[in-house]
Structure 1
């Protein structure tokens, strides 16, 4: 018998049994449960399809990551070859220099020249140094970018450290040696060093040390296409980064994906340096590819949308009910919002009958909705006196002649009171696009009208204030001769024309106002410029004198945007003639005070001056007595008589010079600032003050720098300042009871650069007890003095004199630890003008002078 029919029958029975069980189970379910399971079947199919797509993407992405890793390895090896070739080229050039040095074919100057050429040609080279067999630096040249701490100076001996260790290794091996100095914590990456030994006839004679910037080696040695695709860094043997910026570590979320957990990086040692310098590259970003970014997300999105649509089907009925409830709530909300607005709304049909009013309209007029709906004109809220005008406006409204911007009317409330309102009319269109009437919105403008009236009154008061000002105020637009505003004082001074405004602007030196009679139609000179910076800038001040008025005026000017949008210029002129007269009188009083101060100074020095004059006068008396005695006895020769007369004449000239110098010092004169020679001025002051200092047993030392340029100064006034400072210093030492070895005053005059200006600084330093803190705060105040007999005007006048020369004066204590050992007064004067060689040779052909 053939077994095939039996086998086929058994297979059919095995398949039919589950099918029958499935049909039986399905029929046993209720229709609701059947609908639910019917909706779950497509959802399960979609999820299974999505799982298959994810598995396929997983596999394809793993293959893509392996290809990217292979490409990374090839690129890094290529970059390593480029860096290696660059290092070998530099090594060969350094070895040529070493060979020429070994053969004594290269002098020190030629070595420096060749090193400079290499460093300027190859940016990675930072320094080339020649070190002899005794570890002494013979010559060195470094790039300008190298810090001062890393420079090697000729004549120094190589210090112990990594460089010295590599020096010994190059000496022992007689081969080029690459080293990477140890990197300390927080220190900048060190330079890569190459030491090539010098071999003079088989004898070691030193090394040529070349230092490379690791950062420049990476930047110029690595191909740009590799730098564009990867984050390339150079690290040492311990993994510390020497150049480049590595990518931050991947976050924990990224490692959930198999292609992100695998670090896409590769590193390789750089020959000929070896393991001490490793080139590492990290891929910036792994592309997901067309399969990952396109197909996968498309299938995933479609699957999610299908699942969402299946779920949405279940909730369709409930959403429809919720939508109906939301529509009712929205209608109620809109009705409540309409009733809560403050603008009154009124609807008229095409015949002029009221069809709708909102709560705000009823609240404004006082009539209810039932009282207003259905009425025709005249409406109860119309004032009886305005019926005719309101009827005309209503006819225009119904005929479509609406006024753009609305119109203002008076409205009567139910209680009989009135208020101002503005009405805006617009056509009322239904859902089919047909006009069914007119919608009118009404706004209460009673309060804005009241505010407008107050603003008008305020403007009137403001105008009254400007008219009563003691200053001239005028406003004129740029590019026009129109006078926008002028107060009463301006009209009294200049009339009603713009010429006075333009005259003030021109003489004050502010930005000129373009505009003449012939150029009224020309374009504005400032057209196109932004007006905000002009109108927000600070006002410009100037003081001018108008001969026509015989007055000094302080002119202030600023720009403002006029009410019509034009850029205008406001000028305020204040009469300052009394103030200028007071300033001139104060200047004359200050000049007299300076003369009195010099007289007081000389009065205080009177005994010293008398002692100084007593010496030459006594010598003259002695010489004359001696000559008389010898002439009477007949014991004098003609040569002896001539010598005695010459000495007598010299003493007389000395006394005369002292008297002339004192007279010039105390003489009252007008300030006369001229080009003054600093050295001559200091010598005159020193000779005057030296009399007082010798009387007090104080040693004076002064130093004047050579070839000082001239200053623009009044020599008598500056000598007065110097004499006062040196005299005060001697008094401070005298009051401090210093021993003879510590009784000294030093005057130094040197050039300085202060506040970006070339100046000459005068400094007087003593060895007294200094100044107390409370004295330092009030030192330059008028009528403040630390002396019981002092007037308190000396230092105040000194500072005024210095500041009138555009200089500054200051005082400070000198310390030795916490002990005050003296005081230093200093002031500086600006140079007269940029000096040249001719001025220097004429005015200051002097050497530094130190005298005691």
Structure 2
């Protein structure tokens, strides 16, 4: 019975099937990429393996060569060490004989000569006592002059480089550092100490030629294989030679540094170093050639694979760009709001986009292939639309398009504009006509509303009682002028320009609000050649009218920068302001007359004193002259006193006369201290009568104020008089009847001001009356007229200042009142006065 063969395992087949399924799922672009990257990776891996193998072998060779250099240098160092130790032992034996006094100086020189002749590296042997005096010496004939010393000479401190002192202190052989300015003639000194009964007795000093140590101490086989040299601790080459870096050749660009090794020469120490470099005079041409051939072949293979991969990528990118362009054009056609319709040369619809179907309500299959009349034509428009289609097929359509009415599928009608252009194929042959259709129902409605709005706007501007004109900057052309402007100035632009010139000649007032925005903010300053004031009041002689001129900058419909001027007739208001100013002047004069009338008794009493004094002086002088009992000096003294009293009376009368004299407001630079003194002179008469003390304080170096001094004195006199009356009505005791007048600088609303304050000890102002004390004809006094504080506040505000009042409390009881006002240091009264003075009717 035969047995059926066992089926093979299915794992490899399943793995192969899985691999095929995975490969087939990949897109063609990804398959091309993997097919290109596989060989490229294989070549790169092969190149890396070759490079790693060559580098490994090369580094192994370098390590073996470095070990050989190290071993040979250590061997040469041992040979040098043994030679130095042998010479050291011989010098120590010679020193012991000297210590034991077994030899004389002649025998010392004889043994030194035999040692030097036997060992060429020794060039001099000296016997030096403890005082550095040379007792015996022998030097080789070939020794340098610095090593040839005569007996009886003394060693200098710098000749032993400190080795003599170390041998004396340590009592053991000491080697010096290599000495000598010329590296090739450098010597090495050995100091063997001598002792006599435990005391230092000098040294046996042996000198070695470093060049001799090199020639006789280093084995010849070492010097034949390497560049050997002896160096000091400053890396100066004292004997031998080393290769320069440029002379060392490398097999590969990334080869290790040249083979070298250095060790200190014992027992000398780090002062003398033995260094050797391996010779490398040829390159491994076979190894280098093999490496570069493999590298060149691998690079060529990689370049070819990269070229194939780039070509494949370009082909894939072109395919993707074509797909993306097709999808983009299809998406653009589907998303655009303009309806597109294509007709062939026979007038049959060949293409419509979704927007056209959405506008008409018909689907693409229902429209493609249809001929006129089309289903979206209104029945009443057949004749007109047929003629338009005939013009379209014969190329007679207007470039600006034409308006048509289109009927939707549900029967509604909308307005549309159609544009027609020829449809050209890639061979430059016309295959039909392309028509674009735009729904203009809403724009048409907006245009009609704008036309109606423009008519209403024009009607409103023509009915305004202000003249409105618009002109470009720097031009006399009038872009717009309403009816009143045409009545006043005609249709030309000279009136617009004249109003701007008059407005620009007026000073620009400084706004009170610190946050006010400049009228020209955001405008191009290079174009604002005629920048007048934002608001100005001008007088036009031809019209005989006062006009308020307001200017604004705007961008005209054509993009040009233009200036609009609005002129309003303010003649009636101006006349009313002039009359109000005249009434205010009369009220101020009347207030001063009332004040002086109330102070008449005090003024009469004040004048009575100098007049009585004058009368007494005159009567006394008459009596004494009649009796002839007065000398000339006494007569002159009496006349001088009489003149001073008369002058005092005249000053009082002149001050009163200037105070009550009516005059036009005349702002001038005024001294604050002088104004305060003038006011005190007049007010102090009444205050003394009421037994009230006045304590003034005026700060030093106050600036001058641009004010009318008479008006400011009027305010101060009124406040001082009211303060005295308040104290008198409060029945204060004599110690409490006083007034403080303080004048000083202050910072208010970001400007420098001068503040005047009057503090009294009266009964204060009731809280419910503080808000009304500045009202006209309102007074807290039983016989008051109620115009004093009103005029005071008007005067202060006319000088652009502020006035305020507050009670002074001590706990809950009122202890007095404080009236204060301030005047700005930088005033605008001068410019405003100049504006008023320009009025031809004042």
- Aligned partner of 1:301 in structure 2 is none
Q: 1:475 aligns with which of 467, 470, 478?
A: 470
Is structure 2 residue 434 aligned with structure 1 residue 452? Answer: no
**Distance apart, 1:606 and its partner CA:** 3.4
- Structure 2: unaligned runs, 5 residues or longer: 1-5, 24-36, 53-319, 507-519, 829-842
For the Cα contact (< 8 Å) 1:709–1:831, is it kept in 2? Answer: no
1:681 aligns with 2:681: no
> Structure 1 residue 544 and structure 2 residue 521: aligned?
no
Residue in structure 1 matched with residue 344 of structure 2 by the alignment: 349
* 3-state SS, counterpart of residue 418 of structure 2: strand
1:423 to 418, 423, 437: 418
Structure 2 CA distance, aligned partners of 1:499 and 1:533? Answer: 20
The alpha carbon displacement at 1:547 in A equals 1.1
Counterpart residue number, 2:685: 691
Any conservation in 2 of the 1:710–1:832 contact (CA below 8 Å)? no
Q: For residues 619-698 of structure 1, what are the structure 2 equivalents within 5 Å?
A: 637=629, 654-698=648-692
Cα deviations by residue, 1:773-797 (Å, 9 ceiling, x for unpaired): 6655555454454334434332332
Q: Hey, what's the Cα distance between the residues in 1 that align with 2:786 and 2:616?
A: 44
Instruction: Judge conservation of contact 1:814–1:824 (CA < 8 Å) in 2.
Output: no
Partner of 1:375: 370
Trace 1:761-776 onto structure 2 (pairs within 5 A): 761-768=755-762
Instruction: Give the conservation status (yes or no) of the 8 Å contact 1:810–1:827.
Output: no
Aligned residue among 29, 44, 50 for 2:11:
29
> How far apart, in 2, do the equivalents of 1:558 and 1:644 lie?
76
Give yes or no for contact 2:796–2:821 (8 Å, CA) kept in 1. no
The alpha-carbon deviation at position 460 of structure 1 amounts to 1.2
Counterpart contact for 2:606–2:685, Cα < 8 Å: yes
The answer on 1:700 being equivalent to 2:685 is: no
For residues 270-328 of structure 1, the C-alpha deviation after alignment (integer angstroms, 9 at most, x for no partner) is: xxxxxxxxxxxxxxxxxxxxxxxxxxxxxxxxxxxxxxxxxxxxxxxxxxxxx9xxx9x
Aligned to 1:570: 564
- What does residue 105 of structure 2 align with? none
3-state SS in 2 of match to 1:27 = coil
Superposed displacement of residue 469, structure 1: 1.0
What's the CA shift for 1:715?
Answer: 2.8
Aligned twin of 2:552:
558
Gapped regions of structure 1 (runs ≥ 5):
1-23, 57-322, 512-525, 834-852
CA RMSD of aligned residues (A): 5.5
Q: Is the 8 A contact 1:538 1:558 kept in 2?
A: no
Which among 588, 603, 606 is matched to residue 597 of structure 2? 603
Partners of 2:677 and 2:573 lie apart in 1 by 40
- 1:580 CA drift (Å): 1.2
Equivalent-residue separation in structure 2 for 1:442 and 1:496 (angstroms): 44
Q: Are 1:675 and 1:832, in contact at CA under 8 Å, matched by a contact in 2?
A: no
Q: CA deviation at 1:466?
A: 1.0
Asked if the contact 2:799–2:827 (Cα under 8 Å) also holds between the matched residues in 1, the reply is no
Task: Name the counterpart of 2:192.
Answer: none
Query: Aligned match of 1:594 in 579, 588, 593?
Result: 588
User: 2-side partners of 1:695 and 1:455: how far apart?
Assistant: 80
Any idea what SS the aligned residue of 1:351 has? Answer: coil
> Structure 1, residues 412-441: CA drift from partner, whole Å, max 9, x if none?
567877542112446668999997644434
1:727 aligns with 2:721: yes
Cα distance in 2 for residues equivalent to 1:369 and 1:755: 76
How many residue pairs match? The answer is 523
* Cα distance between partner residues in 1 of 2:667 and 2:533: 33
Secondary structure at 1:379's aligned position in 2? coil
Mean Cα displacement is larger for which, 723-732 or 811-820?
Answer: 811-820
User: What are the Cα deviations for residues 637-677 of structure 1, in whole angstroms up to 9, with x where unaligned?
Assistant: 55699988876776565445434433332232222334444
**After the TM superposition, which of the residue ranges 809-818 and 743-752 deviates more from structure 2?**
809-818
Once the two structures are superposed, residues 386-427 of structure 1 have per-residue CA deviations (whole angstroms, 9 ceiling, x without a partner) of: 656544543454466765554322335678775421124466
Structure 2 match to 1:12:
none
Q: SS of the residue aligned with 2:588?
A: helix
Cα pair 1:531 1:567 within 8 Å, conserved: no
TM-score, with length taken from structure 1: 0.51
Matched with 2:389 is 394
- How many angstroms does 1:566 deviate by? 1.7
Does the CA contact (< 8 Å) of 1:476 and 1:485 recur in 2? yes
For residues 766 and 429 of structure 2, the distance between their equivalents in structure 1, rounded to whole angstroms, comes to: 96
**C-alpha separation between the residues in 1 aligned to 2:827 and 2:558?**
51
Q: Paired residue for 1:245?
A: none
Query: For residues 745-801 of structure 1, what are the alpha-carbon distances to aligned partners after superposition, in whole Å with 9 as ceiling and x for unaligned?
Result: 233444567677666543433344555666555554544543344343323322322
CA distance in 2, matches of 1:773, 1:679: 33
1:592 Cα deviation (Å)?
0.9
Q: Counterparts of 1:359 and 1:749 in 2: how far apart (Å)?
A: 86
Partner of 2:295: none
Tell whether the 8 Å contact from 2:503 to 2:532 is kept in structure 1 after alignment. Answer: no
Shift of 1:468: 1.2
| Closer/same/farther in 2, CA of residues 390 and 553 from structure 1, 3 Å limit | same
Q: CA deviation at 1:694?
A: 1.3
- Is contact 1:749-1:762 (8 Å) kept? yes
Secondary structure of the 2:591 match is helix
* Distance in structure 1 (CA, Å) of the matches to 2:374 and 2:601: 112
Bigger drift between 702-711 and 643-652 goes to 643-652
Kept in 2, the 8 Å contact 1:539–1:558? The answer is no
Written as runs of structure 1 = structure 2, the 5 A alignment for 1:182-221 is none
Equivalents in 2 of 1:353, 1:662: separation in Å?
110
Larger radius of gyration: 2
Aligned to 1:255: none
Any conservation in 2 of the 1:421–1:444 contact (CA below 8 Å)?
Answer: yes
Q: Which residue of 2 aligns with 1:145?
A: none
